[in-house]
Chain A
């Protein structure tokens, strides 16, 4: 899932400066699951916005709405009847959600409440970790099912750098060395031979380096 995290209130308030009536829009999918932008977070943020602006007696007029998925035209359409009432829309969706709303409602000021972080998993309650970079050219078959592109700080393809120690990355003791994990897993699988093979330079054109990407499947098009 896409993991996001709410921006600081100060930054959000600055983005909304000049607005008098704001709609906070939550998303019922990834960001609900990662506790960043579901109905509850919408309520919390709306309250905080009113409290923060209301100290001098003129609180920001804030309404709340949460839709199923901000990244789908059909769901975003649900906002159409009331969106005209606001001079600011604060999206609590991921970057895709913010842009979908912005694209759908031309002329409406849409700003992001979240920082979209990564594709990851909740390692445990309250902790999410990055798992996939969406590089467009998956190598997991060669690395024991552990991604060196997303999980090695230097996205190395041919083994750990000299900074790997005690299973940890040189960047931080809080980061596992992906190559140690790969090594251990391949040892378990009895496939250490895979590590002897040199992986060729990656084709980054399949990553975002090739320009904004698109997936087109004509067979399912209407």
Chain B
């Protein structure tokens, strides 16, 4: 095992893994985190903590993840290249590990022009591929990016994102290969609505044998209405949403129920695709629905955590 991550343990044991996403509050309230974490308890293997997603200032992912550790959950700390240079990133990785965080998701990060501080300066000292390599270097070579020696290494289970629905399509799998070469352990994808395109992408992934080198967790977003889906189609960059799905929600008597049904169907279809190692659930402020979906998808119970991560600060 590369780490003490529960997620790694589940995946390496050959289970179909499931992770959930948790957006920290735009405040200093730890209660919000606790409340949302409650929904995930017992129904996912790890919980992603977003890092100032869409460039809106929220509680830091490192602090939020530490709260999850206290609650006995296995957090995936997301880290974007947008806000920190290589110095801050390495320092935060050390700190995170010390706090009992065993997973990191290396991201480029949404541009700050989307968020509530569009006049800020971005950093992008590294890109996500370089960040992956740096974390791996710290973990496996026990060295900082500068080459300096690192005495106690942060033993992170290294994740990254990939978006099969962005362009240029043929390049997406090349970029995945780069991330694999850089040392990534697991991948969480952008939400899948367009199964056809996802399958084509997975085919390319398998052609390169990448599914054998990295765990791929397919993203799923449960949607509440046709309007929400329409918004994603038109306003969120790098999303592919088939029109018939929107029509299906439009026609539905209870769109929420229909949205859940779609999510469950999607999960079942994704499970059939060879090389898909799990699901990454992104309920987008609808964390309460997670247990229902996981249950309906027949993914309960989850493999019990072997032991509560014991490094770092105890509760």
Contact = CB atoms under 8 A, between A and B. Distances in A.
Interface string B216-244: 00000000000000000000011100000
A155 B22 CA distance: 28
B237 A170 contact: yes
Interface bin, chain B: 35 or more
Given A154-B111, A156-B108, A183-B171, A201 B125 contact: yes
14 contacts: A153-B111, A154-B111, A157-B127, A158-B128, A158-B129, A158-B130, A161-B166, A162-B108, A164-B168, A165-B165, A170-B238, A177-B167, A198-B129, A199-B130
Contacts of A184: 168
Nearest to B81: A154
Given A163-B110, A163-B111, A158 B168 contact: no
Contacts of B122: 154
A159 B124 contact: no
A180 interface: yes
Interface stretch (B61-69, B173-181, B259-267, B285-293): B173-181
B166 A165 contact: yes
Top 8 A-B pairs, shortest CB-CB distance: A162-B163, A170-B237, A163-B237, A158-B129, A161-B108, A156-B127, A159-B175, A162-B238
Given A159-B174, A195-B174, A201-B134, 5 more contacts: A156-B124, A157-B127, A158-B127, A159-B171, A160-B175
Contacts of A156: 108, 124, 127
Contacts of A172: 113
Nearest to B109: A154
Contacts, number: 101
Nearest to A149: B124
Contacts of B129: 157-159, 198
B93 interface: no
Interface string B118-150: 000010111111100110000000000100000
A162 B162 contact: yes
Contact of A198 (B133, B161, B167, B237): B133
A73 interface: no
B167 A196 contact: no
A28 interface: no
A55 B162 CA distance: 61
A189 interface: no
A170 B108 contact: no
B182 interface: yes
Given A157-B127, A201-B86, A162 B190 contact: yes
Nearest to A177: B167
B211 interface: no
A171 interface: yes
Nearest to B239: A165
B182 to A, nearest CB: 6
A146 to B, nearest CB: 13
Contact of B130 (A161, A183, A192, A200): A200
Contacts of A153: 111, 113
Contact of B166 (A157, A164, A196): A164
B249 to A, nearest CB: 22
A160 B178 contact: no
A120 interface: no
Contacts of B162: 162
